[in-house]
Structure 1
Amino acid sequence: MPLINGPIPSFYYVPLRSLTLNGQSIPVNSRHVMLDTGAALTMLDSDLVQSLEAGVKNIMKLPTVQRPELSLCFDIRSNRNVRYPIITFEFDGVSLTLDVGHVFMFLDANTACLAIISSGDADQPGVIGNRAQVNFHVGYDLDNRKISIAGVNCAYF
């Protein structure tokens, strides 16, 4: 996928074309996102996060709990066979499909929280944080201004 210019030249930006939740498209307002291994969480514009949270609530159908750390948390003690959603980021020619470990943080044995938060408005670039990049090789070809992403099981390294 192509690297594009963003507001901070030392960061790597890519065009985010769409986001899907269990195969259903969610409108994307932001023009680009930054790949950031220094940020733990993924941060997207507030409209996108609100739509994503509504969809996740609809899929999971579990009671929510208030936690100061993250905006959407579920009480999972009543259902140990939780059906977690699949979220896919679509870039130019590359799909990044995230599983439960990329998308949720387990704050304790009874609480699962969405690890995607609001970065503010769509004029600010979103961030794909390091949690979403776990078990992916991310290659940076700066000469040709391209980024490649490939899934890998890092437990074998």
Structure 2
Amino acid sequence: MIKRFKVDAGFTPCPVNEGDELYPNGIFEFNITGILEHIQRNPTDVALVEITVDDFFHGFSSLNESQVELADMSKPVLLAEISPGNFNLIDGHHRVEKARRSGVFTLRAHKFTAVQHLRFLTSERAYLSYIEYWNGKVKQLRQVSRAEHCPNG
């Protein structure tokens, strides 16, 4: 069963240093530099999986063409569990586009669960909003599950 999150009063946003790469996903902003540093220090903490490029290509609205050409497809992309069981691409858009154009069907990805990526949110506002968003999704899933098990009420 997917669990709701409780707000941690001691939550500390991930620090942002000058030059850090950030990924805004709506109100949720992730410190990509912090995530990559964590992976370097703790390579077995996060699942390394193979993904299908077509599952994560959504016709990116704007990409720097020179970055697409230079993208290193041997470097894993980053996925974050944004809602229960749903993972979004938060780093590696240029690699995914290059793979698609090159006819490469799979790439490696570091797959962060919600519990793992919370510490890389860059503000308390983003953290609180994420907790509220996640818990709302859990509630919806439970309601759907109940309705499927008890279709007559």
TM-score (norm 1): 0.26
Give the strand-richer structure, 1 or 2.
1
Higher helix share: 2
Larger Rg: 2
TM-score (norm 2): 0.27
